[in-house]
Structure 1
Amino acid sequence: MVFITHCWKNVRRRLERSARLCAALLVCLASAVLASTVDLTEMRTERTDGALVLHTTLRLELGPAVEEALVKGVPVYFVAEAEVLRDRWYWYDRKVASVTRYYRLVYQPLTRQWRLNVSGEPLSSAGLGGSIAQSFDNLSYALSMIRRQSGWRLTELSELDPDARHNLTYRFRLDVAQLPRPFQIAAGSQADWSLSLSRNLRINPDPVR
């Protein structure tokens, strides 16, 4: 009888341990599914009107923690950066151009609208001057404006050496540094706020040549 009781206790402990492991695994899987994600579905350059322009389309989804912060009226900032580099075999690649777009997304409870500011200069709650602002009835419409970055003028074609090879580096991220301090601390342990990507693209030579 003592032996059977001892064995049953061991089995019960193993079952309890397995149940805890399964629960932890389910939590991790749920967090991975619900976390914010970003990826590129399109990235191409085009020569038009004497300039090199960039077209990108993002697959951007915000996780529950980010959406909850937005609904509470916390502004969330995104940054898109593009650099044009010229290959140099004898030294570091030369930076031909560097451009940045800043996005500020916030929910306005009084009007129940989402407001998006876009600017070529850094944005903050204290300085939105010079930015283009639009209001949307829902979050999906506001995010669609961030997801599609079309006709982004990078540099004049005269700045590109026709005899050299050029590369484009594109980066997109959620700017955690712009969040209120309590959210910055929480962001360090929540996957929802770890949202960034970086991609490289070889710029095709001018087909006219």
Structure 2
Amino acid sequence: MTTVFSTHCLKSAGASLVLVLGLWLALAAGVGAAQGVQLSELRVQRDDDGLYLSAQVHLELGPVVEEAMDKAIPVHFVADAQIVRERWYWSDEKLSDEKRYFRVAFQPLTRRWRLNTSNQPILDSGLGVSYSQFYDSLGEALSAVGRISRWKIADAAELEPGSRQMLRFRFRLDASQLPRALQIGASGQSDWSMGVERKIDLTHEVGR
């Protein structure tokens, strides 16, 4: 594994019209198989400076997604951690909303897989400020995407002892980052509709 820290915009190779149309036809034909996102671990830890989240997500891609990735179409994932204070008299109050973005792309020249991670959306027109890692296989890259360790999701000042607070965690494939033609074909296709959600009562952790 090789690690690189990117601080400047890089242009990604665009897919040819033939490739995009071919993938769109595959989507329109309804090609698909069992796939999904499984959350095998989700826990939080309260430290003096705030709340930290760790998770283990298992990703099993459908054949349409893998075909797109094999042809160097980048695929994006998003982890979202919201902390809300429940109120019986009104809608829940959002105390914290943190997101982590992942971009996985095949590099044809090196035959390796590049994973970019950032706290900001990663646009294909430029990777911006993101943390980059390279892997020899797609499986290794996806395993790295699914390992979330000590992610700070709230400062201590954002936590309110004495109130009931909930963590809403969501992990999903972000099809909105696909090329426009693929977005049209992906609409309603199960291979691209991957996600998992979980809630945790933080009352005990917040009150510590």
Pairwise mapping of residues 111-126 of structure 1 onto structure 2 (< 5 A)?
111-126=110-125
Q: Is the 8 A contact 2:102 2:118 kept in 1?
A: yes
Residues 206 and 195 of structure 1, relative CA distance in 2, 3 Å threshold: closer
| Matched residue, 2:14 | none
CA drift at 1:55: 1.0
Query: How many angstroms does 1:190 deviate by?
Result: 3.0
8 Å CA contact 2:103–2:116 kept in 1: the answer is: yes
Superimposed CA distance per residue, residues 168-205 of structure 1 (whole angstroms, 9 cap, x where no aligned partner) = 01111111111112221221253211112222111142
Secondary structure of 1:177's match?
Answer: helix
Structure of higher RCO (CA pairs closer than 8 Å, 6+ residues apart): 2
Q: Report whether the alignment pairs 1:110 with 2:109.
A: yes
Query: Could you tell me which amino acid in structure 2 is paired with residue 176 of structure 1?
Result: A
Does the CA-based 8 Å contact 2:160-2:206 persist in structure 1? no
CA contact (8 A) 1:36 1:194 kept: no
Structure 2 match to 1:85: 84
When the two chains are superposed, the root-mean-square deviation of aligned CA atoms in Å is 1.9
- Tell me what 1:179 maps to: 178
TM-score using structure 1 length: 0.80
Contact 2:162 2:207 in 1 (8 A): no
8 Å Cα contact 2:52-2:151 kept in structure 1? yes
Higher helix share: 1
In 2 relative to 1, CA 207–175 (structure 1 residues): closer, same or farther, beyond 3 Å?
closer
Residue of structure 1 equivalent to 2:164: 165
Question: Which runs of structure 2 are paired with 1:49-60 in the superposition (5 Å)?
Answer: 49-60=48-59
How many residues in Structure 1 have an aligned counterpart in Structure 2? 179
User: 2:117 is paired with a residue of what secondary structure?
Assistant: strand
Larger Rg: 1
CA distance 1:134–1:95, shift in 2 (3 Å): same
Could you give the per-residue CA deviations for residues 132-161 of structure 1, whole angstroms, max 9, x where no partner exists? 011101111100111111111011123211
Deviations 1:22-78 (A, max 9, x none): xxxxxx9x94xx333002111111012421011111121111111110010101111
TM-score normalised by the chain length of structure 2: 0.80
Structure 2 counterpart of 1:148: 147
Aligned partners of 1:131 and 1:52: how far apart in 2?
A: 23
Name the CA shift for 1:151/1:113 in 2 (closer, same or farther; >3 Å).
Answer: same
Q: State the identity as a percent.
A: 46
Q: Secondary structure at the match of 2:114?
A: strand
Structure 1 contact 162–206 (Cα < 8 Å) conserved: no
Q: Give the secondary structure class of the aligned counterpart of 2:204.
A: coil
Distance in 2, Cα, partners of 1:56 & 1:186 = 31
Match of 2:204 in 1: 205
Structure 2 counterpart SS, 1:205: helix
Moved more, 188-197 or 78-87: 188-197
Paired AA for residue 199 in structure 1: R
Q: Which residue of 1 aligns with 2:27?
A: none
Q: For the Cα contact (< 8 Å) 2:50–2:154, is it kept in 1?
A: yes
- The offset of 1:125, in angstroms, is 1.2
Letter in 2 for 1:111: T
Distance 2:162 2:206 in 1: 12
